[in-house]
Copies of this chain bind each other. A is one copy, B any other.
Amino acid sequence: MERLHRKERVAAIFKILSDKPNTVISLGHFSEIFGAARSTLSEDITIVKKVVEMLQCGKIETIPGAAGGVRYIPGMSKDFEIEFIKGVCEKINDPSRVMPGGFLYINDIIYSPEIVNKVGVILANKFISKEADYVITVETKGIPIAMAVATALNVPLVIVRRNGEVTEGSTVSINYVTGSSKTIQTMSLSKRSIKPKSKCIFIDDFIKAGGTAVGIIDLLKEFDCTVEGVGFLIEAQPEGKKVLNEYVSLISLEEINGEEGVLNIIPSEKFKEK
């Protein structure tokens, strides 16, 4: 590659780091690409760090030593998180979204790349320290959000099926009891899809009592794997007891009543303006 000026090299380094978030890239790698000395590259990285601080778009970590290098962890400022989540709540707070049966229509929200990719970054940040091997979700609606979290953590996604699929080879299936309606459901995971002893983060669009999350924890026990963190876009209060208590949610559904056209959605406790 043609020798670059610093102003070009800094932008190029930042792009390369952004395209592989949460992944350590060695200075040697950059040195090969740009034909620049490590000392020069260290100065470049310091500039990238400054840019990330100014844009408040996460952080740059420098890992010293032989296996060291640099990694970019996407993120946003607390203020921006709060502003963004408030904006999503405003979008959802529209009584015409209440469907027959008291369900909430949010497909346009949970399938919008602009929204979902920011939700992914916010949730991923809560679980960075868990050093997860996989993000796991259950079909269908949580997949885009889970994919966004997997992208930000740069780990593979695992999708649990509601019904065993013939095309995925041997599967392990479990029955579980939904927390709210107390009905029995089945979920299945292909035996090939996850390595034993793996650490997983479970991500879904919605939690009420948490029966599905408990089902996932049980299913992963069959694979000798653990759930190290659980995150949702929206939480609602169940009529009975919650069966899962430790999780992160961005938004809280406080009240929904289709007949009276009542809907109240607010940021979850962690993301409220103080």
User: B-contacting residues of A (Cβ < 8 Å)?
Assistant: 1-2, 4, 6-8, 10-12, 14-16, 18-20, 47-48, 50-51, 54-55, 57, 99-101, 103-105, 107-108, 111-114, 116-117, 139-141, 143-144, 147-148, 150-151, 154-159, 161, 166-169, 190, 192-193
State the oligomeric state as a number of copies: 2
Q: Is the CB of A7 within 8 A of B7?
A: yes
Residue of B nearest to A154 (CB): B113
Once the chains are docked, how many angstroms separate the CA of A1 from the CA of B8? 22
Q: Which residues of B contact A150 (CB under 8 A)?
A: 111, 113
- Determine which of B139, B156, B161, B166 lies in contact with A112 in the assembled complex, contact meaning CB atoms within 8 Å: B156
Q: Give chain A's interface secondary structure class.
A: helix
Q: Is the CB of A54 within 8 A of B12?
A: yes
With contact pairs A113-B150, A113-B151, A168-B105 given, residues A11 and B157 touching in the complex (Cβ less than 8 Å): no
- Within the complex, the shortest CB–CB distance from A175 to chain B, in Å, comes to 20
- Within the complex, the shortest CB–CB distance from A188 to chain B, in Å, comes to 12
Q: Which residues of B contact A108 (CB under 8 A)?
A: 156, 192-193
